[in-house]
Structure 1
Amino acid sequence: MQALTRPYGALHYRTDGPADAPTVIFANSLGTDLRLWDAVLPLLPQDLRYIRYDKQGHGLSTLGNGTDIADHADDAIALIEALAGKPVVFVGLSIGGLIGQTVASRRPELLRALVLSNTAAKLGTVESWQARIDAIAGHGLEHIADAVMERWFAPVFRATPELALWRAMLTRTPADGYIAACRALSQADQTAATAALRLPALAIAGDADGASPAELVEATAALIPGSAFHVIPGAGHLPCVEKPAAYAAILSPFLRAHAHD
């Protein structure tokens, strides 16, 4: 296991691929850890270096403050500066996409390109996130787990035995880490900053996504001139889990085009 020392503790990360290859950074969704990318990584170009990490308060990473999207962007920036040495392609899913947008707006020199998966410049409302926080504070993550699974996955996947594993990943997320990330999401609005971005961008959506509908992802992609947008049929909020081959078929050409000098 690998960890980057941060002011609040340890940020857990994993590296795959040649050490001297161009780097791709992956940022996960709310309630998941770096295993989110297990199925898709073997299908991506093998001449690249892939770094994925657990957001603070998730997986094996320590919880710092984590209640502002800038806190999470600081972690990503520190990871890039410590491990990459050169600009990277940043792939962010859900809150990971908001982290990527924040990094791109604050430190554009660190990114070659940006992939926005199942995300938007703004996700939800203050009221909707507060309602979720109240539910978890009162009853725990188990109380919301079934509703989250319906937003995460299309019906076909929800009928498989694998669903239980993803439900377990969600419910075993530290509640304080999950709540902190909800607070960050409740205040995050990158609309103006993302509209000012000028870098290669790819947006990916699932047509059965109950958390970030395809039209919301498309609207965010439209903020960035020249961006590409793709919808994966039969996929929910985590298409890299449900449809890894389809996901890789969209992501791989983008990486080949933009990861190298």
Structure 2
Amino acid sequence: MPLLKLAKHQLHYQVDGPSSAPVLVLSNSLGTTLQMWQPQMAALSQRYRVVRYDSRGHGASTATARCRLADLGGDVLTLLDALDSERAHFCGLSMGGLTGLWLGAHAPERLLRLAVCNSAAKIGDSEAWRQRAAQVRSEGMAALAASAHQRWFSADFCAQAPDTVAQARAWLAHTPPDGYAACCEALAEADLRADLPRIATPTLLIAGEYDPVTTVAEAQTMAAAMPNAQWLALPASHLSNLEAPRAFEQSLLAFLDAD
């Protein structure tokens, strides 16, 4: 289990694929782990050196008392430095997608192509994030995990794929409350809407047709504000790479292989 030891925390990561291939970094959503990308790994690792990591405070990556979006983006840059990777493709979902937007705004020289999935430049309501952080710090993750499937997946998918739904809920249930809460507080502060016009990296914005969290309309708004972005919608809710794995994989590969 590779661990990158930093000043105040450690970052768990995994590398798959040919060492000579272009690097592709995958960034997980809030309340999941690097395992969320497993459905795409067989295809992605044939063409890319795929670097997955657990976001700060998730999985086997330790938490810090305070976390900002710049910290999440900085973790990616530190990981790339540790792997001697000057530039990489980046694909993130939800919180991972917002991390990608931060990189596009603040470290564009490190990016080749950027995929921002089921995300937005400002996700949700700031006060709601702060309330959720306080809730999990006082009550733990059980109540949140019990209802997560209603936000993450469509009702039809929940009925058709109970094992996938159960696995996703387990990731959330086992996320350390302090790590989850710190990231909620980072999302409460994060707002990159004013930065979108200067993100010139070729960008794919993937939305879920049934996503109640980050909508198709938000992807369209971002695409209109960014100089080199395109958007598409998949028949899925919030965790689109799990609900529509093959369509997600094909769309991502077509975008990354466009060069």
Q: TM-score range by the shorter chain?
A: over 0.9
**Cα separation, 1, equivalents of 2:67 and 2:2:** 24
CA contact (8 A) 2:24 2:51 kept: yes
| CA displacement, residues 89-136 of structure 1 (integer Å, 9 cap, x when unaligned) | 111111111111111211111001111100010001221112212322
CA contact (8 A) 1:23 1:84 kept: no
How many residues of Structure 1 are paired with residues of Structure 2 in the alignment? 257
CA contact (8 A) 1:66 1:72 kept: no
> Which of 233, 236, 239 is 1:231 aligned to?
233
Aligned-partner SS, 2:226: coil
Write 1 or 2 for the structure with the bigger share of helix: 2
Aligned-partner SS, 2:257: helix
> Unmatched 5+ residue regions in structure 1?
none
What amino acid does structure 2 have at the position aligned with 1:116?
V
| CA displacement, residues 170-229 of structure 1 (integer Å, 9 cap, x when unaligned) | 111000000000000000001112221111000001111122112112212222123111
**Cα separation, 2, equivalents of 1:226 and 1:99:** 18
**Cα separation, 2, equivalents of 1:61 and 1:124:** 25
**Cα separation, 1, equivalents of 2:228 and 2:167:** 38
Aligned-partner SS, 1:257: coil
Across the aligned residues of Structure 1 and Structure 2, the Cα RMSD in angstroms comes to: 1.4
| CA displacement, residues 7-65 of structure 1 (integer Å, 9 cap, x when unaligned) | 11320000110012110101110000000100012133612111010011100011124
Aligned-partner SS, 2:162: coil
Aligned to 2:14: 14
Range moving further from structure 2, 202-211 or 131-140: 131-140
| Map 1:12-91 → 2, pairs under 5 A | 12-44=12-44, 46-91=46-91
Instruction: Provide runs of 4+ in structure 1 moved above 3 Å.
Output: none
Do residues 255 (structure 1) and 256 (structure 2) align?
A: yes
Aligned-partner SS, 1:46: helix
**Cα separation, 1, equivalents of 2:215 and 2:49:** 30
Aligned to 1:145: 145
Q: 1:192 to 1:126 in 2, by over 3 A?
A: same
Aligned to 1:167: 169
Aligned-partner SS, 1:121: coil
Aligned to 1:100: 100
**Cα separation, 2, equivalents of 1:177 and 1:2:** 19
